[in-house]
Structure 1
Amino acid sequence: MTTSAAGDADPDSFERVVNDLAPGCTVDDTEEGGLYVATVNGVVKYGVFVDLSEQLSGLVHESKLDGTYEIGDEMLVRLVEIRENGDLGFEDVTTEFDDLDRVDVAHGDGVTIDELADRTGDAVHVEGDIVQIKQTAGPTIFSVRDGTGVVPCAAFEEAGVRAYPAIELGDTVRATGGIETHDDAPQLEVDKLVRLRGEAKTEVRERIDAAIAANAEPADPDPLIEWPAFDSLREGLTAVARRLRTAVLEGRPIRVRHHADGDGMCAAIPVQLALENYIAEVHADPDAPRHLFKRLPSKAPFYEMEDVTRDLNFALEDAERHGQRLPLLFMVDNGSTEEDTPAYRALAQYDIPIIAVDHHHPDPDAVGPLLDEHVNPYLHGEDYRITTGMMCVELARMIDPSITDDLRHVPAVAGLADRSKAHAMDDYLALAADAGYDETELEDIVEALDYAAHWLRYQSGPNLISDALDLDCDDAERHAELVEFLSSRARRDVERQLDDAEPHVEHERLDNDAHLYRLDVENHARRFTYPAPGKTTGELHDRKVTETGDPVITIGVGPDFAVLRSDGVRLDIPNMVTELQDELEGAGVSGGGHLVVGSIKFVPGARERVLDALVEKMEAAELDAELRSTLLRDDN
């Protein structure tokens, strides 16, 4: 007999405890002298017949009755005799006790959820927390987690009618029933579902917390390359991996918001692959990876109110319609700046934890109080040369080390996509070469990702992007043909754009001897097609750097924005934005990015004022002699 107190019962006080048997309990779950909850199922001249469970019945003889009962009445009985033929004899003790502590008696073995795959056909009970309640046209599906996994428990009432309406999300329960196979995965067919209270709840909660803490601990694989600058980030990445694995074990949905560029995709997709693998390992429901993980690209380099409003609305709808918990938000290659804080404050009204892994220049004072975890190389004295893709490949390996061989080329793609000048790029390129990718192939992948992201706009395009990145792609020929097609189209469109724009590029030599190139992308570049203004400005900038070998600043100007690129000049774009906000009243200046790559927004009427002030600050910036010599050496 397996028991667990449903209240604050003293197990040593036998006479103060009454046992409430689960439907599947048999005589093996009883003992002579024990007190039981019984339901009257028949009234005869010589007594009443009672049920203790669906499998267990007996007689209370008229000589042992203290009251009058009707069918359906509940009474308390003592088991006085188990005869050799299996018949049971009881006595009525209903009136003898005014205050009894109930103990729920579960039928079958008490098991953990990770053991259920081998228990098909067995009667068991599991104890854990309700993490989802979903009403179907048939049963009510309660998802229960115990720190080792999550299992769907199907409770049947009338078709489409909510079973156990008193059970709520977050309750700690015991589910008793048989294990059946549903969609090739274990499912518990509920005989009884009870909410635990008092000591029983405390014991189960402590057990769950300990199991989650143990199972959430990330792996500690050796880094893909030796890079001392990266070492200071590993502790933070380990904490993020622990939070993400904990969310999976808790049955909490995960939403990843990432910048929709090459580095952002190289960061988000390995994490997606690792988390979907881990969700499939933890959750018995084969559809859990699809329901509990979503990857969402962001066009802006910060979390826009449009995006957070959409995300919050979908999260609340999922909670209402599918009985899910509110999600954890994971910001990737995004989320470190003051511009993110309005969206974060919107989420702060709800139970939505936020973590961020980013390499844009951060504002820790602004975002720190709103983030549960924040990993950024700037917080450790490093800079944007450590790309988010490089960090998230290591993060993904902490979540699921088995995917390591599939990821060896991804950090190099991320570095090329964000033009990282880190010395470690040589090691990443060598690592990719060992995996079968030369630098030309990696550059083609970068162009293919950028081209696909442009046309996907706000869609994640999981299959297309994975095939282009050659991540979880099962057809090498398709990958090669897809990358060749997308990258060649991208280069063709870029060349057309630059050839048409080149005659309209304005050039001047600044007082600090840097070249300044300016292009009106509103009037002298194709709109609503590839490449977008930011890409156009970046490609023009790269062309001018190659042509001159000198320090170069390029500005792509629109009616209410400016895209900035710089090589060989010590700009600090986030700081410039802050200064312009203070200096230009009514200009509506906002923006940011990296120190030498970023964008600025302003009201259209202040365009000339903003640009003039911007150029003045660029003229006052120092040249970067080390970078300039690198450019000249590379050019030669």
Structure 2
Amino acid sequence: MNSSTASDGDHGSREGVAKDLAPGCTSDDIEEGARYVATVNGVVEYGVFVDLSEVVSGLVHESKLDSTYEIGDEIVVELVEIRENGDLGFEEVATDPDRVNRADIAHGDSARIGSLGDRTGDAVYLEGDVVQIKQTAGPTVFSIRDGTGIVPCAAFEAAGVRAYPDIELDDTVRVSGTVEAHDDAPQLEVETVSILDGEERETVRARVDEAVEAAATPTDPEPLIEWPAFDALREDLAAVARRLRRAVLEGRPIRVRHHADGDGMCAALPVQLALENLISEVHADPDAPRHLFKRLPSKAPYYEMEDVTRDLNFALEDEVRHGQRLPLLFMVDNGSTEEDTPAYRALAQYDIPILAVDHHHPDPDAVGPLLEEHVNPYLHGEDYRITTGMMCVELARMIDPSITDDLEHVPAVAGLADRSKADAMERYLELAESAGYDESALNDIVEALDYAAHWLRYSSGPNLISDALDLDCDDPERHAELVDFLASRARRDVEDQLENAEGHVEHERLDNGAHLYRLDVENHARRFTYPAPGKTTGELHDRKVTETGDPVITIGYGPDFSVLRSDGVRLDIPNMVTELQAELDGAGVSGGGHLVVGSIKFVPGARERVLDALVDKMESAELDADLRSTLLRDDG
């Protein structure tokens, strides 16, 4: 028997409480001596007949009435008798129905969302929070969470008409109905929905919050390799994992923005796999992973206004059209610099939390107040050699450790993509080899990812990138053939580009002994094709490092940009950008990146001033034979 009762209200003590049965309630939901709100459905000489629900009715004998009633009137009654034949006898309670404290009684058994898969056909009621309200051409679908899961509850009015218009996002409710199978997943066909308040609301909220807090706790798997430099980051990554798991449990959409390069993809895809698995586990709706998770590449290693404007527009449209919460934004392999702050400030006008995991040289004073969580090796005295892909593989395992076997090669791919010379690279390569990927195969994957990312541009290419990375790919032969095709074309196009550009490369020896190579990629490299300026500059740089064996700096420049690569020279490109901004009025200098790999933008008319100032700074930089560039194959 359902004996839910309301808390004391403004109109009296618990003696003034009357139960208000849901339409589907049966005789199993009532008890002698209890008070109910009833509706008069018939008037006869010997009394009135009343309905407590669609199926519970009885008589109030005229001797038990204090007033006269008409059909449709409300009356408060007490159940005084349940006869052997099932007939019910009531007496009037001298209480104004408009002044009574009503206790909404749902039909069926109390149930938790996590158990609905085995209860098809059962009448149940749920208590929890509304996390989405979607109006379809048919029913209004309320998504309810109770800490054990999230289930769609379909409430029917006239086609396309909003059911229960008083219910809003984040209300705590009691929903009763019948569990049905929809697309082989449970869905509640709604009978009634009532908003909880007072003590009932607080009790349900406390229960849900406790369950969510427990479920949001990340796992703590053993690291894939032993690496003391990485240990300081694990607590920060666990905080991000907790926040991401909580977002799933809250029904909040997640948008991942990642740098569109090898390391960025190696970082974002494991997190995507882990979160989509968790969303499928939490949500009864099989389409939830598709609706609640989006992976979005960014060409620049920071959050551009073009990207944030597009993201914000889509988020606001989804809020209106699909009744979703505004999303959580997760920045991956970007998001740590002052250049990100204008976009972050745009999001600050809305309820959009921002997390960042990155290994670019950060500006914590600028981004810190705008981020809920910020993970970066520089914040712990480490540097870019710990790539974002390495960090996010461990993050994904904290969210879903079951995917560990699928990820063992990914940190090595990330390290090779960003040319990490970290001490741990050897151990990551050994781990990948034990999983069936030798270094040659890993390098092919790097080239394939880079080539695919170039042509995908602003598309995430979910299936193509997953197949190339061999992550959640169900056909090993397809993976091998795809990687071979993409990697061979990438190497062919790079070779053609450098062959055409080689005769136009300018060389000089700087005062500090470093070689400086310069290439006008605007006029002496093919445009709008692969490789892009950043890739062209990086490949040229690698050749010159191999040829000379000496410290090398390479600049690839166009009318309003330059791409920088350095080996064996202690550059600090973010600091150089800051100095140029102060020194060159009207040059419009911006940019950054890592210490020895980066890009700089400027106004076309200031190109010569900017390049000359850059060379002056490079000549005064110290040489470091042990400093080897580890990084980015940026598209520039």
Normalization by structure 2: what TM-score? 0.97
Cα 1:415/1:8, change in 2 over 3 Å: farther
Q: Which residue of 1 aligns with 2:214?
A: 214
Q: Show the 5 A alignment for 1:370-389.
A: 370-389=370-389
Q: Which residue of 2 aligns with 1:564?
A: 564
Cα 1:71/1:523, change in 2 over 3 Å: same
Q: Which residue of 2 aligns with 1:633?
A: none
**Could you tell me how far 1:221 is from its partner in structure 2?**
0.5
Q: Distance in 1 between matches of 2:250 and 2:168?
A: 15
**Could you tell me how far 1:421 is from its partner in structure 2?**
0.5
1:574 alignment partner AA: P
**Could you tell me how far 1:65 is from its partner in structure 2?**
2.5
Q: Which residue of 2 aligns with 1:528?
A: 528
1:190 alignment partner AA: V
Q: Which residue of 1 aligns with 2:329?
A: 329
Q: Distance in 2 between matches of 1:505 and 1:567?
A: 18
Cα 1:335/1:463, change in 2 over 3 Å: same
**Could you tell me how far 1:8 is from its partner in structure 2?**
3.7
**Could you tell me how far 1:434 is from its partner in structure 2?**
0.2
Q: Distance in 1 between matches of 2:107 and 2:97?
A: 26
Q: Which residue of 2 aligns with 1:252?
A: 252
Cα 1:448/1:96, change in 2 over 3 Å: closer
Q: Tell me whether 1:425 sits opposite 2:425 in the alignment.
A: yes
Q: Distance in 2 between matches of 1:458 and 1:3?
A: 56
Q: Which residue of 1 aligns with 2:470?
A: 470
The one-character-per-residue Cα deviations of 1:445-486 (angstroms, maximum 9, x if unpaired) are 000000000000000000000000001111111100000000
Q: Tell me whether 1:182 sits opposite 2:182 in the alignment.
A: yes
Q: Show the 5 A alignment for 1:308-327.
A: 308-327=308-327
Q: Show the 5 A alignment for 1:263-302.
A: 263-302=263-302
1:232 alignment partner AA: A
Q: Distance in 2 between matches of 1:4 and 1:602?
A: 68
The one-character-per-residue Cα deviations of 1:62-83 (angstroms, maximum 9, x if unpaired) are 2323333333322211112111
Q: Which residue of 2 aligns with 1:31?
A: 31
Q: Distance in 2 between matches of 1:273 and 1:629?
A: 31
Q: Which residue of 1 aligns with 2:634?
A: none
Q: Distance in 2 between matches of 1:303 and 1:59?
A: 70
The one-character-per-residue Cα deviations of 1:310-331 (angstroms, maximum 9, x if unpaired) are 0000000000000000000000
Q: Which residue of 2 aligns with 1:627?
A: 627
- Please state whether the residue corresponding to 1:471 is helix, strand or coil: coil
Q: Which residue of 2 aligns with 1:137?
A: 137
**Could you tell me how far 1:17 is from its partner in structure 2?**
1.1
Contact 2:596 2:629 in 1 (8 A): no
The one-character-per-residue Cα deviations of 1:525-566 (angstroms, maximum 9, x if unpaired) are 000000000100000000100000100000010111100000
Q: Once structures 1 and 2 are overlaid, which stretch shifts more, 137-146 or 279-288? A: 137-146
Cα 1:8/1:456, change in 2 over 3 Å: farther
- Please state whether the residue corresponding to 2:627 is helix, strand or coil: helix
Contact 1:521 1:533 in 2 (8 A): yes
**Could you tell me how far 1:246 is from its partner in structure 2?**
0.3
Q: Once structures 1 and 2 are overlaid, which stretch shifts more, 20-29 or 316-325? A: 20-29
Q: Which residue of 2 aligns with 1:550?
A: 550
Q: Distance in 1 between matches of 2:14 and 2:304?
A: 62
Q: Show the 5 A alignment for 1:428-439.
A: 428-439=428-439
Q: Distance in 2 between matches of 1:627 and 1:363?
A: 23
- Please state whether the residue corresponding to 2:588 is helix, strand or coil: coil
1:79 alignment partner AA: L
1:333 alignment partner AA: D
Contact 2:221 2:398 in 1 (8 A): yes
Contact 2:254 2:330 in 1 (8 A): yes
Q: Which residue of 1 aligns with 2:78?
A: 78
Q: Distance in 2 between matches of 1:218 and 1:293?
A: 19
Q: Distance in 1 between matches of 2:394 and 2:285?
A: 28
Q: Distance in 2 between matches of 1:629 and 1:105?
A: 68
Q: Distance in 1 between matches of 2:402 and 2:417?
A: 25
Q: Which residue of 2 aligns with 1:578?
A: 578
1:600 alignment partner AA: I
Q: Distance in 2 between matches of 1:398 and 1:520?
A: 46
Contact 1:114 1:149 in 2 (8 A): yes
Contact 1:64 1:92 in 2 (8 A): yes
Q: Tell me whether 1:100 sits opposite 2:100 in the alignment.
A: yes
The one-character-per-residue Cα deviations of 1:161-180 (angstroms, maximum 9, x if unpaired) are 11111111111101111111
The one-character-per-residue Cα deviations of 1:565-598 (angstroms, maximum 9, x if unpaired) are 0000000000100111111111111000000000
Give me the identity figure in percent.
83
- Please state whether the residue corresponding to 2:600 is helix, strand or coil: strand
Q: Distance in 1 between matches of 2:470 and 2:421?
A: 24
- Please state whether the residue corresponding to 2:4 is helix, strand or coil: strand
Q: Distance in 2 between matches of 1:543 and 1:70?
A: 96
Q: Which residue of 1 aligns with 2:456?
A: 456
Q: Distance in 1 between matches of 2:480 and 2:168?
A: 51
- Please state whether the residue corresponding to 2:190 is helix, strand or coil: strand
The one-character-per-residue Cα deviations of 1:330-377 (angstroms, maximum 9, x if unpaired) are 000010000000000000000000000000000000000000000000
Q: Tell me whether 1:603 sits opposite 2:611 in the alignment.
A: no
The one-character-per-residue Cα deviations of 1:6-49 (angstroms, maximum 9, x if unpaired) are 45459x95522111112222222222221111122223333222
Q: Once structures 1 and 2 are overlaid, which stretch shifts more, 547-556 or 69-78? A: 69-78
- Please state whether the residue corresponding to 1:85 is helix, strand or coil: coil
Contact 1:497 1:536 in 2 (8 A): yes
1:363 alignment partner AA: D
Q: Distance in 1 between matches of 2:62 and 2:5?
A: 32
Cα 1:6/1:606, change in 2 over 3 Å: farther
Q: Distance in 2 between matches of 1:143 and 1:629?
A: 50
Q: Distance in 2 between matches of 1:605 and 1:135?
A: 54
Contact 1:40 1:72 in 2 (8 A): yes
Structure 2's unaligned 5+ residue stretches are: 631-636
Q: Distance in 1 between matches of 2:628 and 2:595?
A: 16
2:310 alignment partner AA: R
Normalization by structure 1: what TM-score? 0.97
Q: Which residue of 1 aligns with 2:633?
A: none
- Please state whether the residue corresponding to 1:565 is helix, strand or coil: strand
Q: Once structures 1 and 2 are overlaid, which stretch shifts more, 86-95 or 570-579? A: 86-95
Structure 1's unaligned 5+ residue stretches are: 631-636
The one-character-per-residue Cα deviations of 1:490-541 (angstroms, maximum 9, x if unpaired) are 0000000000001000001001100000000111100000000010000000
Contact 1:6 1:102 in 2 (8 A): yes
- Please state whether the residue corresponding to 2:207 is helix, strand or coil: helix
Q: Distance in 2 between matches of 1:332 and 1:108?
A: 46
Q: Distance in 2 between matches of 1:185 and 1:490?
A: 44
Q: Distance in 1 between matches of 2:55 and 2:364?
A: 63
**Could you tell me how far 1:97 is from its partner in structure 2?**
7.5
Q: Distance in 1 between matches of 2:147 and 2:623?
A: 56
Q: Distance in 2 between matches of 1:239 and 1:522?
A: 44
Contact 2:19 2:105 in 1 (8 A): yes
Cα 1:94/1:291, change in 2 over 3 Å: farther
2:286 alignment partner AA: P
Q: Once structures 1 and 2 are overlaid, which stretch shifts more, 464-473 or 69-78? A: 69-78
Contact 1:589 1:600 in 2 (8 A): yes
Q: Distance in 1 between matches of 2:482 and 2:407?
A: 19
**Could you tell me how far 1:157 is from its partner in structure 2?**
1.0
- Please state whether the residue corresponding to 1:468 is helix, strand or coil: helix
- Please state whether the residue corresponding to 2:518 is helix, strand or coil: strand
Q: Which residue of 1 aligns with 2:541?
A: 541
Q: Distance in 2 between matches of 1:215 and 1:450?
A: 37
Q: Distance in 2 between matches of 1:437 and 1:575?
A: 39
